[in-house]
Structure 1
Amino acid sequence: MLISALIFGLLGSFHCIGMCGPIAFMLPVDRTNPTKQFFQIMSYHIGRLTTYAIIGLLFGLLGKGFQLFGFQQQISIITGTLMILTILLPKLFNNIKLSKSITRFVFKIKSALGKELKNKNNNAFFTIGFLNGYLPCGLVYMAVLGALSSTNPFTGSLYMLLFGLGTIPLMTSVVYMGNFASGLFRKRIQQIIPIIVVCIGILFVLRGLGLGIPLLSPPDTISTLNETAKGCH
């Protein structure tokens, strides 16, 4: 399922152009020095990846807790179902309001981000990327669900890391060339993204059902362990 994270990142980066593209384009890079500019951009990306890895670690740890209570398969099914519903029934999720504490947190992130964008110190690029990773984004939420269903802190962190890696090529191009993608091309990619999300959601549901299909839908882990235990007795 890790490959789904990379697909999210690669295709979702067209969505990122609209959300985070302005931040990437406003990076105070040294355009007179190509080598310095490259490392400044990479520092920004490393900051984003660090945030994604931390988020993936936390949600992977949460998923691990669910697994210990025997909910591994159910979490995978719920994750896939939520992915599908967000695409097929978006109005159900558009009306969800963030709590005041989360709203305040996002406001503080945006304020800190605004200050760092005016800072031309080399250390600022990592900080900008780190803060950028915490901004609300529907695509990141989808990746977080994938990290949650991994039921493993390391795998959850790796899932989010791969998601972030997938966004690097296009986000880097934005810094160098601005908003280069044509409106028609971006529109077509935006139309593909929901289809990819639904397909990946179906894969998560199949994985949770434990149908015994190799790689795609392995047997229910808990049931397998119980049967093994009975055999030992």
Structure 2
Amino acid sequence: MSYHVLAFFMGLLGSLHCAVMCGPLVLAVPGPRSRWKRLSNTLMYQSGRTMTYALLGLMMGVVGHSIEVAGWQQSISIATGILLVCMALFSLWGRRLRQVVHWQQTFVHPVVKWIGYWLQRPGGHFMVGMLNGLLPCGMVYMALAASLSADTLQGSGVFMLSFGLGTWPTMLAVSLIGSAVKRRMRFNAAFWLPMISLLMGGWFLLRGAGLDIPYLSPLIYPDGAVTCAGAQ
């Protein structure tokens, strides 16, 4: 499976979590009565959110590319796997830590104020989407950690762009159809988000282990090259 196809399906599966957590914000975005204008505003909102993900991916790519140049590709893959597993365990057992809650509230408050400002501005849907992409989200953290292992700086940006596009089907449905979608969804985000994170963490640990398993755990040589059995 292509690395970017994997990112798309991470977004597609994670969008169930996004619909639960961000659905109220999406529905709060005021929309005109015209169906086509509402669709245009929704597309602008989703484009802004995806743009933020891509920019964050490029920022992570700067870090990941520096590590790759230093010949630490295998180490960063293992570190990414450990980080994802720790995130999963924290989600399962550490969600109520007061310090983390306080940090999130401190960070979110100014972002929410700016969202409120742009909600009142004509054509502000793109900026609302970009600001929404900055709100704390476990799925986004997981995708950003995964983007560190992309082969190039641009690859990290494309990884996060693919992740963002993967969230579109569910988020567009929530935006256009409304709360009826949310009422029909039975998704236990508190359980499935850590499970997805554990699965991805295990994959990165295998990838960094270099067990010579094609595509799952390819050999990583000291110069950073990755080879898969049967590759030309």
TM range (shorter): 0.7 to 0.9
Q: Does 1:161 align with 2:166?
A: no
Q: Residue 81 of structure 1: CA displacement? A: 1.8
Q: Which residue of 2 aligns with 1:113?
A: 115
Q: Which residue of 2 aligns with 1:45?
A: 46
Instruction: Provide the C-alpha distance between the structure 2 equivalents of 1:189 and 1:224, rounded to a whole number of angstroms.
Output: 36
Q: Choose 1 or 2 for highest CA Rg.
A: 1
**Aligned mate of 1:23, from 18, 22, 25:** 25
Instruction: Provide the C-alpha distance between the structure 1 equivalents of 2:108 and 2:208, rounded to a whole number of angstroms.
Output: 33
Q: Deviations over 1:82-108 (max 9, x none)?
A: 21232235335764846x998655332
Q: Does 1:82 align with 2:83?
A: yes
Instruction: Provide the C-alpha distance between the structure 1 equivalents of 2:174 and 2:193, rounded to a whole number of angstroms.
Output: 19
Q: Does 1:5 align with 2:7?
A: yes
- Mean CA deviation greater in 139-148 or 178-187: 178-187
Instruction: Provide the C-alpha distance between the structure 2 equivalents of 1:74 and 1:46, rounded to a whole number of angstroms.
Output: 34
Instruction: Provide the C-alpha distance between the structure 2 equivalents of 1:182 and 1:107, rounded to a whole number of angstroms.
Output: 25
Instruction: Provide the C-alpha distance between the structure 1 equivalents of 2:63 and 2:13, rounded to a whole number of angstroms.
Output: 27
TM-score by length of 2: 0.84
Residue correspondences, number:
222
Instruction: Provide the C-alpha distance between the structure 2 equivalents of 1:192 and 1:149, rounded to a whole number of angstroms.
Output: 23
Over 3 Å counting, the alpha-carbon distance change for 1:25 and 1:183 in structure 2 is closer
Q: Does 1:126 align with 2:126?
A: yes
Q: Which residue of 1 aligns with 2:71?
A: 70
Instruction: Provide the C-alpha distance between the structure 2 equivalents of 1:185 and 1:103, rounded to a whole number of angstroms.
Output: 27
Q: Which residue of 2 aligns with 1:230?
A: none
Q: Which residue of 2 aligns with 1:135?
A: 135
Instruction: Provide the C-alpha distance between the structure 1 equivalents of 2:7 and 2:24, rounded to a whole number of angstroms.
Output: 23
Q: Deviations over 1:41-60 (max 9, x none)?
A: 11111101110000000101
Contact 1:66/1:151, CA 8 A, preserved across alignment: no
Q: Which runs of 4 or more aligned residues in structure 1 lie more than 6 Å from their structure 2 counterparts after TM superposition? A: 100-103
Q: Residue 171 of structure 1: CA displacement? A: 1.0
Over 3 Å counting, the alpha-carbon distance change for 1:160 and 1:97 in structure 2 is farther
Contact 1:65/1:151, CA 8 A, preserved across alignment: no
Contact 2:45/2:129, CA 8 A, preserved across alignment: yes
Contact 1:207/1:218, CA 8 A, preserved across alignment: yes
Q: Residue 192 of structure 1: CA displacement? A: 4.0
Contact 1:12/1:139, CA 8 A, preserved across alignment: yes
Instruction: Provide the C-alpha distance between the structure 2 equivalents of 1:146 and 1:214, rounded to a whole number of angstroms.
Output: 19
Instruction: Provide the C-alpha distance between the structure 2 equivalents of 1:76 and 1:57, rounded to a whole number of angstroms.
Output: 18
Contact 1:86/1:93, CA 8 A, preserved across alignment: no
Q: Which residue of 1 aligns with 2:55?
A: 54
Q: Residue 206 of structure 1: CA displacement? A: 1.1
Over 3 Å counting, the alpha-carbon distance change for 1:178 and 1:190 in structure 2 is farther
TM-score by length of 1: 0.84
After superposition, where does 1:174-189 map in structure 2 within 5 Å? 174-181=174-181, 185-187=185-187
Instruction: Provide the C-alpha distance between the structure 2 equivalents of 1:34 and 1:101, rounded to a whole number of angstroms.
Output: 39
Over 3 Å counting, the alpha-carbon distance change for 1:182 and 1:24 in structure 2 is closer
SS of corresponding position for 2:187: helix
After superposition, where does 1:142-153 map in structure 2 within 5 Å? 142-153=142-153
Contact 2:72/2:224, CA 8 A, preserved across alignment: no
